[in-house]
Each structure stands twice: as C-alpha cells, then as structure tokens.
Amino acid sequence: MCGIAGIVGKRPLEDRDALARLVDGIVHRGPDDRGDYLSPDGCCALGHTRLAILDLSAAGHQPMRDEETGNAIVFNGEIYNFAALRADCEADGFVFRSHSDTEVILALYRRHGVDCLRHLRGMFAFAIWDERRQRLFFARDRLGKKPFHYAESRQGFAFCSEIDPLARHAWTDRALDRQALDFYLHLQYVPAPLCIYRGIRKLPPAHYGLLDASGLRIAPYWSLDYRDKVEMGETEALDAFEAKLAEAVKLRMVADVPVGALLSGGVDSSVIVALMAKQSAAPVRTFSIGFRESGVDESAYAWQAAKLCGTAHRPHELDTPDMAMLPMLVRRYGEPYGDASALPSFTVCAVAREEVKVVMNGDGGDELLGGYPRYSLPDTTVRLSGYLHRRRLPLLEPVNWLETQAPFPFKKIRRLALHHLLLPEAGSFTMYGDRRNEAARRNLLRDDSLKGRITQWRTRWLEQARAASGNAVDSMLWLDNHTYLPGDLLVKMDIASMHCGLEARSPLLDHELIEFCAKLPVSFKVRNGTGKYLLKKLAERYYPADFVHRPKMGFGIPMVSWLRKPLGGMLVDVLRDPACMAPLNLAEIEAHLRRFIAGQDDEAALLWPLFMYGLWRRHGAPSD
C-alpha cells in the first residue's frame, strides 16, 4: 500500500516543486520511503510514498523503472498472485532485480501491454509512463479498492491517490460541482466519475486510461455478469465456496510484516478470522471497536468469535468522538462524505496499527451474497422478479414517479411497489430516499437545473443491472457492487486505514470469488427471506447457530446521542455558519436543526451529512 501522484504536461514542467507538494499531501499513506521520477523530456513527473509490505529492501523503491524499455511505474496496492505471475515471466526469460509485486506489473506490461490487467488478481491503482510510446497508462482494480483521482486542464494532466492534495494543485479547477453536491445529498457520497470539485474526476473501478498526444481515453476492462448460472447441490456449492474463500485468505496472508484482522463480531469478519486461524501457526491478532450504547455495540460477539478462534484479541471502546480528529478526517476524504461509520473506522485502524501493518476485514460479504435487509425478499417476489426480467417490461417510469412524491402518504405505497411488485432491485437506490427525495433536495440546493439528473443516473444503472442479471437479488448485487460498495464502503476503509499507514485486505472482494458467486443460483444467496445463505452455512462450520443467525446490526455510531452531546455545540455552529453551508438553503437547514433540538431524533440522519458537508467547507475551503 502506498500513495501515488503524477503530472504530465504538454510541455516540460516548469514548477519542479509541484510534484513534491502532491506527495507531501499523501505521505501518511506511505511513511517508509518516498521517491520521484522525471522523464527524459521533462514532461512527465511521477511521485510515490511507500508503505513497505513486500520486499522491505531498497529494491522495492518506487518509482520503479524497467531498465530495458525505460518505462516507469508508481503503484498502490497488492497483487496477490504475483509469485505465480513472476514465475511465468521468468520462464519467458525475464530477469527480476527485486522480490516485489511492483516489478511484476512492469514485466507484464512489457509482455502484454494494456492486456496485463486481465492477469492481475488484487487491489491496485497504478500509472506507467511508457517512454517509447510517450503515453501514460493508468488503471484501477476491478472492485475499486484503491483510488485514482485525476484533473485535466489546458496545461496538462495530474493525478493523485487522494482528492485534497490534487485540489490544491495549480492546474485544478476548484469550483464546486453542484451536480456532485446533489448526488451527495441523496447518497451521502459522491459517485465516480464525479467529484465535489468541478476540475477533478475519479477513474471508475475496472477501468483504465491512456493519455498521449491524441488526448485522454478511458475504457473498461472487466465486467460482472450474473446470468450464466451453474447447477450444483448445496454441499458441493458450500465446499467450493469455502475452498475459494480459504484460498483468497491464504493469498492475503502473504506479507513480510505482521498481519492481523479487524473483527467486528459480524458474520463476515468472523468467518475471515476463522479461516485465518485455521491457516496460521500463531494466534491471529484481532481488533474490535465497541460502544457503551447497546444498539450499536457488537463487541460481545467479537469477544465470542475471538475466544472460539483462539485469537490475541484487543478491544477498544469508543465512548465519545475525538473532536480534534474531525477536521483532519474531512481533509483526508477530500470531499463531503456522510457515512458516520468513518469515525469508528479511523479509531479501530489506529488501534490495529500499533501492533500490525496489515489487517484483513470482512468488507464485501453483503454485496457478495445479499446481506442487507433490502435483499430479504420472499421467494415469491424473487420468482416474480425473474418473470419480469425475462419479459423486460418497461417498469422504470412508475418507479421514477413514486420517487418524486412526498414521504407520506406515498411512502408505504412506494415501498410496496418497489420492493414487492414493480422493481424490488430499486431498493439499492432508496436507502436514503424516504426523506431526501427530489423535492427535498431542490429546497436545499435551490437549483432547478439539476432536476432529474439523479433519476437519469439511477435509470441507467438499473437498466445495466437488469441486462446483467435474471432476478431482483442478482440485480441488487450487481448494483451494489458498482455503486454503494466502491462509492461509499471502500472509500471509507481506504482513507481510514491509509491515514495511519495500515494496509487493509478484503478476501471477500477477491474477483475470482465474486465471479464464482455470481454464477450461483439465487437460492444460495437469499432463501425464505434470509440473505447471505451460503456464507451463513459456512459460518455454521465454525460458530454456534445462535451466533450466526442473530439479527444484522451494522457498523455505526450512537448518532443521536453524539449529535446532542458532545457534538451538539459544533453541530449548531457549523449548520448556522453561512460560509460552511453555502450554497445550501440556510432556512431549510435551520428548520431541520430546530426540529432536532426540539427532540425529533429522526432528524439526526439528515443533519449528519449536512454537518460533514459544513466541516468539509470549513476545512477544505472550496472556491465556487
């Protein structure tokens, strides 16, 4: 894991300190080493800050050059099958100078060009300056574990692992992107390729880019399809699933530094820890976060899993938010980010970093086999959705109409129509839609030019999801893997872990495992209204049934009590500050705030993303 940055000018770079400033802004991602590269013509500069995980010697230094071609690479991530790829290249005559996976990517690029991407199994964002072709080749992993942000301008092209340093680059247009703000108000994150800054874009997952004299081209290199099913019995499917997940865990245990695990107490992370313990000669070091409020506290289950697996467990209780951490947190995300679980994620990563440099986690389990409540559809609804998928009926217009209506009395009608009659997979887009609908966002933004943008965005995704699936459950899995997972959850963990120089690995996001699960019949994912069926059956091999089949709790914070006290004073100060809340409607925000102060707890979920937006405005200082 590392931080990468680069600048490609249309003429030789004059500001030689510009790259250093970009790297300065991401040095926390790789505190072990840093380096830079300048192309012979002076037009391309690459920068790197290193978190040494494999080959801790100086041979792993980046930027790394291919001495034969003159190509140079900066790489952030891990290639888990690098040993096998290295052996193939050596059999073909390649001679390696290091034992790092970075050099393997250079060798594969020399051998296959852009097609090297299909060989890589892991998480990555990298850029290669191709000296002979005078082009920049850059790419992002299939699921979007590792970020790649870029800015185009008349002077050239710049990129960086994080948004905030790139926003401070002289070539970047820092004007607020109001369309991105509209998406944030609805989703609580800004989806790729948008960014809150008009001049910055995010490379989508499973995409690569080529920049040369003819311009910039972005293209996909991988797609996920749920239509091609395999037939197998439950025992066969369960054994195959366990074998593939165990292999994914084994590959991710390879490191030249200590490896631990984040153990929330949920089924996903508990299964990962059980498989780690099964393969480890020493007790696995595990870390968890807990709260005094029982409604969000799973620490007892984390302890139970730790005892059953014999781990060296270290719990941490977060009884109050770290007020001083909030300004730094919003700077790290670089744009408004409204997922409140970012706070405990930062804390548990910092605790783990005191003992290890790499951790496994359970990210991706819900998106792999349907773990969210919205997946818990009756079998009759799943069968009906399959029928409707086969007929390709035009169902989007009534769905869009229902989304625009007021929360009540249409709320129950909408839920019935979406989740049981018309288009149940639309649940992936209605997580925040009960109150922050089109009319509510218009009142906040006071910008009618944005009307319908989110509806169009949602319609495009729904059409693609239905084209890649045959029922509502698989459509939701496809949607969540393309929107919520990379836009929210993976951003959260990347920023929280890399803030303290910790590498987070996610076995459940192994793309070969995801492809296997995509082919499974829907009954192995959701059965009788219960999601994650196959994963829970696997968990039963390691844990008691009452541990596995308890209600899903989720990973969050005691938001209401924190916003009342101790964050209450800061909340009021930020939400009533015109500079923090511009260009939003202060009167509308004040109405929400007064209702919350008067005791309406349900307003907290609306105020939190506004609070995070205001903090970002205060500490990120965008220019309109």
Q: Are residues 182 and 56 in the same domain?
A: yes
Domains contained in the chain, number: 4
Q: Is residue 432 pLDDT above 90, yes or no?
A: no
Q: Is residue 229 part of a domain?
A: no
* Pairwise pLDDT comparison (274 vs 447), residue with the higher score: 274
Q: Are residues 405 and 524 in the same domain?
A: no
Per-residue confidence (pLDDT) for residue 395, from 0 to 100 = 45
Q: Are residues 98 and 132 in the same domain?
A: yes
Q: Is residue 329 part of a domain?
A: yes
Q: Are residues 63 and 185 in the same domain?
A: yes
Q: Are residues 379 and 322 in the same domain?
A: no
Per-residue confidence (pLDDT) for residue 427, from 0 to 100 = 66
Residue where one domain finishes, among candidates 482, 506, 536: 482
Q: Is residue 226 part of a domain?
A: no
Q: Is residue 488 part of a domain?
A: no
* Pairwise pLDDT comparison (399 vs 504), residue with the higher score: 504
Q: Are residues 68 and 198 in the same domain?
A: yes
Per-residue confidence (pLDDT) for residue 510, from 0 to 100 = 98
Q: Are residues 401 and 345 in the same domain?
A: no
Q: Is residue 472 part of a domain?
A: yes
Confidence of residue 374 (pLDDT cuts 50, 70, 90): confident
DSSP code string of 37-89 = EE-TTS-EEEEEEE---S--SGGG-SSEE-TTT--EEEEEEEETTHHHHHHHH
Q: What is the pLDDT of residues 433-476, one digit of tens each?
A: 545 677 888 889 988 888 888 888 988 998 899 899 988 899 99
Q: Are residues 335 and 461 in the same domain?
A: no
Name the nearest CA neighbour of 161 among 262, 17, 34, 14.
Answer: 34
Which H or E run includes 564? helix 559-564
Range of the domain at 611: 559-620
Residue where one domain finishes, among candidates 482, 506, 530: 482
Q: Is residue 422 part of a domain?
A: yes
Name the nearest CA neighbour of 31 among 406, 502, 426, 400.
Answer: 502
Q: Are residues 185 and 91 in the same domain?
A: yes
Residue type, 383: R
Q: Is residue 225 part of a domain?
A: no
- The CATH number of the domain holding residue 540 is 3.40.50.620
- Residues 609-612: contacts with CB within 8 Å, 24+ apart? 609/184, 609/185, 609/188, 609/336, 609/338, 610/575, 610/581, 610/584, 611/563, 611/567, 611/570, 611/571, 611/574, 611/575, 612/330, 612/336, 612/337, 612/338
Residue where one domain finishes, among candidates 165, 186, 220: 220
- The CATH number of the domain holding residue 125 is 3.60.20.10
Q: Are residues 471 and 405 in the same domain?
A: yes
Contact 144, 167 (CB under 8 A): no
Lowest mean pLDDT of 193-202, 213-222, 542-551, name the range.
542-551
User: Residue 244: what are its φ and ψ, rounded to 5°?
Assistant: -70, -40
Q: Are residues 99 and 187 in the same domain?
A: yes
Average pLDDT of span 89-112: 94
Quick one: CA dihedral 441, 447, 450, 452, positive or negative?
Answer: positive
Q: Is residue 227 part of a domain?
A: no
Confidence of residue 247 (pLDDT cuts 50, 70, 90): very high
b/e code 323-337 from CB counts within 10 Å (16+ = b): eeebeebbbbbbbbb
**Three-state secondary structure call for residue 293:** coil
Helices (H), 257-341: 267-279, 299-309, 325-333
Q: Are residues 440 and 351 in the same domain?
A: no
Confidence of residue 380 (pLDDT cuts 50, 70, 90): confident
